[in-house]
Structure 1
Amino acid sequence: MGSRLTTTDDVIRDTDCLEVDDAIAAVQMGAVRTRAAVPACLSNASPTTLFGDSMEGSARHWASVGTREWFYSQDQNPYLIDMRYATSGTDNLWGNDGNRAGAPGMAMRRGVKLPALSAAAPVSYTVRFNHAYGFWPVAGGPTADGGVVEFSVDGGAHWRGVTQARWARAGGYHGYSGVMAAGTDNPLAGSRAFVGHSAGYLTSRFDISDLAGRSVKLRFRVAQVSKDPGDPGDYGWFIDDVSITSCPALPGPRITAVGPGNRSVAVRWAAVAGASSYQVTSIPDGRTCTTSRTRCTVRELRNGVRYRFRVRALSPGRETGVSLSRRLAVPTARIVPA
């Protein structure tokens, strides 16, 4: 946050400790923008909430990690500015986009256990949150700073970033908007992220169905470059109404056969009623193959590596169905006769 009022073609940045509501209106973060409603479930079915936090009251599900740049909006921050800008109630999380290189975060204190998948009652698991952001720079420069979402399934010992595929599987609602510039001192330089200015609150959701049976923690980070001492950075990230829900889903395809080849594996499965296409994913490496048929060959694999494969049933307006079993196969180079 800054100490002067600077005007550019499309952004006015906070200075002189203006009230945050006025400052947000000046950069159009609070402007009403027509956006498609983001359903809790793609099929408009009623979700089951496993975790929900509106950031109100005394419950503190989140803790700042790294450099102290994340706060509950109702708490005093070093910048002495009221950063309450919520979509429900009055309170929210806020991560500052300052002038020191780093990627401070706000992480869940405790994980949320996702029940194991069941063939009798197939569901998908989704993370959904409301957020608004303003990341540096502001006037046509490279997108140096940004916001990223990560998850952990081992209590926070290791973290993984949310991929484009996860946003897409949950309907493609407001996933990452760009890439942070490479070659900077931003520790996450070159990564996909929310960048620029959101022009108001939006709702994002991503799929975590493949993490069923595990305990999941979430983390939000503002990744930023170092700036001149007089550069105040930007508004940062406002987050509200975070939830983890389950929704009724298509049944998971039953894998019937796998056939290893040279740097490839052919996978077959039984058809799922209502599915318009299928996606096969290799574990590890995350190679994918998408088809409307019930067989597909996953390529560009490594010979000699043990792979498992998971098949998803896809249909517009429906939650994806995930195969319960993950079949094992080892690609092997073909033997050419002498």
Structure 2
Amino acid sequence: MSSTALPGAAGITFATNPVTTYPTHTTASLDNLAAAGTTNFSFSVIAQTVAPVLSRNVDFDVTVSSSITAAATLTAPADGSTGQLVRPTFVWDAVADALSYTVEIATDNGFTNIIETGTSDIPTYTASSTLAATTQYFWRVTASNNCGTGAVSGVFSFTTGVPGSCPAGTTPNVVFTDDIEGDVSDWSRPAAPTGTNTWAQSGVRLNSGVSSFLAVDSNVSSDQYLISPPIILPSIAQSPLTLSYWNFQSMEVNSGTGDDACWDGSFLEISTDGGANFTQVVNANMFTDPYNGKITINAANPSSGSDAWCANASQPLTGPQETVAVVDLNQYAGQTVQFRFRMSTDGNTGDEGWYIDDVNVQSCIQN
């Protein structure tokens, strides 16, 4: 038994060497790791027979920790800060010898109600779920390594702002805005691959001015596209980047939630390649107005099984159905994007449809 060279003055010993019986085992022990001169290294254990001459290697990656980690120093969101993002990124100073960090977010200073626990191997972490608006939260970090879990950091608090608004210390920058008034020829409404594309300006329901876009919820199979002009998004340095738009949904529902939420439905898609390909914007990117559920599996609907919005005229005609959607665009920073508002219907009952108005893309510039 042998090994490849170890760094510094680190050594290796084998409990039994050579091994003269089979089957059996031996134990390899590393020693003097404090003198290795590094905290990360790789080596191989080599087993070689005499007759016949055979050789086998097992590779190992080693991380050396010499002591429990110190407490982390929190950086952002700053303690007592307000107007913070509803999906914030937490930042702290790197801790010497730390291999991983645990981040806890709570609604109380004593952390009796922890709403999210996450891990990271770098000194930053982005919340995996959207926090409530205008709400105070508390966060802390614990570093750990091979020696165990270190001391818990101090506790910072912050208060979230309203989704779509810029956090304190930044100024809104309008990247794109369209109130759907007058000439809208920069929006494309291609022929529907199924049925008829009914997207057109309407004066029936709107948020401002005298018109909005409407796609009629048809009583025949259809797949209707409304595509925005290209929009150049700034770099992530202007985070948060958001899309917002007013919309009113009145489409044929099934159960209203879950896998059978909608018979007819609508959803948002995005392209980063000039409109050659579009992918659906998922619920994780929706700061507000998440999808109701899925379109019921149905061969007559071109988007069968997709997450979608739908509503029903039996619901109030104002209030919950009338919503400003706010969408997280950070992952597309620095790219040119187009949005596709897509309505898909089956071959039966129709409804009023989907209205879109006041489409805005915004970034936030540091003061």
**Under a length normalisation based on structure 2, what TM-score does the superposition of the two structures give?**
0.49
The aligned counterpart of 1:123 is 239
Residue aligning to 2:344: 223
Q: Is contact 1:186-1:225 (8 Å) kept?
A: yes
Choose from 228, 233, 240 the match for 2:357. Answer: 240
More displaced stretch, 189-198 vs 123-132: 189-198
Q: Which segment drifts farther, 59-68 or 153-162?
A: 59-68
> Any runs of at least 4 consecutive aligned residues in structure 1 with deviations exceeding 6 A, and if so which?
138-141
Task: Provide the secondary structure at the position in 2 that maps to 1:104.
Answer: strand
Tell me the equivalent position of 2:165: 41
Give the structure 1 partner of residue 54 of structure 2: none
Task: Report the alpha carbon displacement of residue 138 of structure 1 after superposing the two structures with TM.
Answer: 7.4
What is the Cα deviation at residue 183 of structure 1?
3.4
Aligned length: 194
- Distance, in Å, in 1 between the alignment partners of 2:207 and 2:220 is 29
Q: CA RMSD in A?
A: 2.6
Asked if 2 retains the 8 angstrom alpha-carbon contact of 1:40 and 1:47, the reply is no
Deviation at 1:85, TM superposition (A): 1.2
Distance, in Å, in 2 between the alignment partners of 1:56 and 1:46 is 27
Report the Cα offset of residue 89 of structure 1: 0.8
Pair 1:115–1:42, CA change in 2 (3 A): closer
**What is the 5 A alignment of 1:181-196?**
181-196=296-311
**Change over 3 Å in CA distance of 1:103–1:234 after alignment to 2:** same
Separation in 1, partners of 2:178, 2:184: 9
Residue 179 of structure 2 is matched in structure 1 by: 54
Partner of 2:251: 135
Once the two structures are TM-superposed, the CA of residue 143 in structure 1 deviates from its matched residue by 1.8
Bigger radius of gyration among the two: 2
- 2:323 — aligned with what? 202
Q: In the alignment, which residue of structure 2 is the partner of 1:68?
A: 197
Contact kept, 8 Å, 1:137 with 1:234, in 2: the verdict is no
Q: Aligned partners of 1:195 and 1:240: how far apart in 2?
A: 17
Q: Establish whether residue 161 from structure 1 lines up as the match of residue 280 from structure 2.
A: yes
For 1:102, the aligned partner's letter is S
In the alignment, what sits opposite 2:107?
none
Instruction: Using CA pairs under 8 Å that are at least 6 residues apart, name the structure with larger relative contact order, 1 or 2.
Output: 1
**Residue 102 to residue 218, structure 1, CA distance change in 2 (3 Å):** same
* CA spacing shift, 1:142–1:204, aligned 2, 3 Å: closer
The runs of 5 or more residues in structure 2 that have no matched partner are: 1-132, 135-160
Shift in Å at residue 223 of structure 1?
0.9
Contact 2:261 2:310 in 1 (8 A): no
Is 1:93 equivalent to 2:213 in the alignment? Answer: yes
Runs (5+) with no aligned partner, structure 1 = 1-34, 74-82, 250-338
Which whole-Å deviations, capped at 9, do the CAs of 1:94-141 have from their partners, x for residues lacking one?
A: 001102212211111x311112333xxx42211100000110147989
SS at match of 1:210: helix
Alignment correspondent of 2:292: 177
Amino acid at match of 2:298: G
Aligned equivalents of 1:127, 1:181: Cα separation in 2: 28
Q: Cα gap change, 1:114/1:226 in structure 2, threshold over 3 Å: closer, same or farther?
A: same
- Return the TM-score normalized by structure 1: 0.52
Structure 1 residue 184 displacement after superposition: 3.5
